[in-house]
C-alpha cells in the first residue's frame, strides 16, 4: 500500500488528480490507510507493537509524499505564470496602412476628377511606337538610347542597319505613352489623366529614383489653348499644395508638345521642377489620325513623388522606397 500511494502521488499532474489520490489513500472515512488502521485490532500479542510501528512509518511516508506532490504542483504553477486575467486589455494589433505614394495618387485622382478628368491606364511594358515614334521622338533621338531606357527584349535587326526595331520592348520611361493609347482608341473631346510607374536608369539621389510615378494629363477639344493648360495646372497646384503655392512655367522642349514648358513650384526658398507640359504637337495629332486643323489640346506629365515630397516636406525620395516602417508610419 505504501509504495502504491507514493507512486500515485508522484504521478498526480494537477490539483484535481492529487485530491483524488489523497482521498483514496489518506481519506478520513474510507481511505485505504484508514482501513489498514482498523485491521490493527485483529493483530495480537507480540506482533502488535511491530505492526504499529510499521503502520506509523508507512503513514509518515505517505503523508510526506503527499506534501511533496503539493509542493511540486505549486512550483510548476508558479513557473507557468499567473492565471490569465481576461479583464486585461489585449495586445494592440499592428495594422498596416496605405503607402504615401498610393495616398498621393488617390488624392491627385480626386482633385483632377473634380475638374472633370477621367482616370485611364496603360501598360508598363511598351513598344517603341507608343514610347517614342508616335510621340514624335525620331529614331536617332538621344531619348531612345539603350543607356537611358530599360529595354526588355531587343528585336533581331542584323543587316537592317537600324538601331531600333518594332519588336523591341521596354519599360515605359514616361506616362505620355498613355496619351497615344487613348487617342488611338477615342475621338475628341478627351479629358483624361493616367497615373502609374515609369522607369529610367537614373542614379538614385535625393530627387531621383530609377522607378517613379507620373501623372499624365491630356485634354483635346476644339479651340484649346495654352491659357487652358495654365489654368488647369494652377488650379491643380493650389488644390494640392495650398493657395500660397507659386507656379512658374519655363520655356522648354519636348518632341511631342509645341510650345513646351517646364512646370516649377516654389518650395523652401527655391524653384523645384515638377513636370513638363505643352500643347500637343500637330505631328502627334496626325500620328493618331486626328486633324490638327480641327482639334488642339494640351498635355502634362508631373512627378508624383515630387508632389508627395513637397506636400509632406519629405527631403529625400529614397525614404519613400526604403520600406522603413518608422518613416512610413508617419503618413
Check binding of 209 to ligand FA5 (CB under 6 A): yes
Min. distance of Cβ 243 from ligand FA5 in angstroms? Answer: 22
From the list 43-51, 53-61, 207-215, 223-231, the region that binds ligand FA5 by CB under 6 A is 207-215
Q: Is residue 314 within 8 Å of 320, Cβ to Cβ?
A: yes
Question: Minimum CB separation from ligand FA5 for residue 300, in Å?
Answer: 5
Q: Would you say 170 and 126 are in contact if contact means Cβ atoms under 8 Å apart? A: yes
- Local structure of residue 310 (DSSP, 8 states): H
Give CA angle at 302 (309, 321), nearest 5°.
40
Would you say 19 is a known binding-site residue?
no
CB of 69 closer than 8 Å to CB of 20: no
224 lies in the site for ligand FA5, by CB under 6 A:
no
Count the alpha carbons within 13 Å of 181 in the hemisphere toward its beta carbon: 20
What residues between 174 and 203 interact with ligand FA5 by CB under 6 A? 174, 176, 200, 202
Shortest CB 202 distance to ligand FA5, Å: 4
Q: Is 171 helix (H, G, I), strand (E, B) or coil?
A: strand
Q: Three-state DSSP class for 205?
A: coil
Residue (54 or 312) nearer to ligand FA5, CB: 312
Q: Which stretch binds ligand FA5 (CB under 6 A): 10-18, 92-100, 204-212, 289-297?
A: 204-212
Q: Which of 175, 180, 177 lies closest to 196, judged by CA?
A: 175
Determine the size of the site formed for ligand FA5 (CB under 6 A): 24
239 vs 111: CA distance, rounded Å:
7
133 — alpha (psi -120 to 50), left (phi > 0) or beta? alpha
Strands 211-221 and 190-199 come out as antiparallel
Decide if residue 122 touches ligand FA5 (CB under 6 A): no
Residue 103: CB minimum distance to ligand FA5, A: 17
The contact pattern for ligand FA5, residues 249-278, with x = CB under 6 A and - = no contact, is -----x--x--x------------xxxxxx
Q: Output the smallest distance, CB 175 to ligand FA5, in A.
A: 7
For residues 25 and 32, the answer to whether their CB atoms sit within 8 Å is yes
CB of 138 to ligand FA5, least distance (A): 16
Q: Measuring CA to CA, which residue among 135, 139, 198 is closest to residue 166?
A: 139
Closest to ligand FA5 by CB, 24 or 200: 200
CB closer to ligand FA5, 5 vs 135: 135
Distance from C-alpha of 302 to C-alpha of 246, rounded to nearest angstrom:
16
* Annotated binding-site ranges: 258
* Annotated binding-site ranges for Mg(2+): 258
- List residues near ligand FA5 by CB under 6 A: 174, 176, 200, 202, 208-209, 212, 214, 254, 257, 260, 273-278, 299-301, 303, 305-306, 317
Amino acid at each position: 500500500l505504501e509504495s502504491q500511494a507514493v507512486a500515485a502521488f508522484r504521478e498526480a499532474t494537477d490539483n484535481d488528480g492529487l485530491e483524488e489520490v489523497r482521498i483514496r489513500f489518506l481519506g478520513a472515512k474510507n481511505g485505504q490507510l484508514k482501513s489498514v488502521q482498523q485491521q490493527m485490532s485483529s493483530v495480537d500479542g507480540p506482533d502488535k507493537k511491530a505492526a504499529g510501528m510499521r503502520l506509523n512509518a508507512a503513514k509518515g511516508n505517505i503523508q510526506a509524499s503527499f506534501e511533496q506532490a503539493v509542493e511540486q504542483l505549486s512550483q510548476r504553477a508558479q513557473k507557468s505564470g499567473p492565471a490569465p486575467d481576461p479583464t486585461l486589455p489585449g495586445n494592440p494589433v499592428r495594422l498596416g496602412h496605405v503607402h504615401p505614394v498610393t495616398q498621393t495618387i488617390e488624392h491627385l485622382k480626386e482633385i483632377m476628377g473634380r475638374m472633370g478628368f477621367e482616370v485611364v491606364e496603360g501598360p508598363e511594358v511598351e513598344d517603341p511606337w507608343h514610347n517614342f515614334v508616335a510621340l514624335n521622338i525620331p529614331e536617332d533621338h538621344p531619348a531612345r538610347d539603350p543607356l537611358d531606357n530599360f529595354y526588355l527584349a531587343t528585336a533581331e535587326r542584323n543587316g537592317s542597319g537600324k538601331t531600333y526595331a518594332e519588336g523591341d520592348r521596354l519599360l515605359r520611361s514616361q506616362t505620355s505613352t498613355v496619351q497615344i493609347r487613348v487617342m488611338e482608341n477615342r475621338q475628341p473631346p478627351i479629358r483624361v489623366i493616367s497615373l502609374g510607374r515609369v522607369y529610367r536608369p537614373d542614379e538614385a539621389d535625393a530627387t531621383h529614383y530609377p522607378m517613379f510615378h507620373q501623372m499624365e494629363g491630356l485634354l483635346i477639344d476644339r479651340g484649346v489653348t495654352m491659357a487652358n493648360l495654365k489654368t488647369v495646372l494652377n488650379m491643380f497646384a493650389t488644390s494640392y499644395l495650398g493657395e500660397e503655392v507659386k507656379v512658374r512655367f519655363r520655356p522648354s522642349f519636348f518632341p511631342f508638345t509645341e510650345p513646351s514648358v517646364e512646370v516649377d513650384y516654389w518650395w523652401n526658398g527655391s524653384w523645384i521642377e515638377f513636370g513638363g507640359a505643352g500643347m500637343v504637337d500637330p505631328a502627334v495629332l496626325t500620328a493618331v489620325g486626328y486633324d490638327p486643323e480641327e482639334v488642339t489640346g494640351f498635355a502634362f506629365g508631373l512627378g508624383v513623388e515630387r508632389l508627395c515630397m513637397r506636400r509632406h516636406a519629405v527631403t529625400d525620395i529614397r525614404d519613400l522606397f526604403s520600406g522603413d516602417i518608422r518613416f512610413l508610419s508617419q503618413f
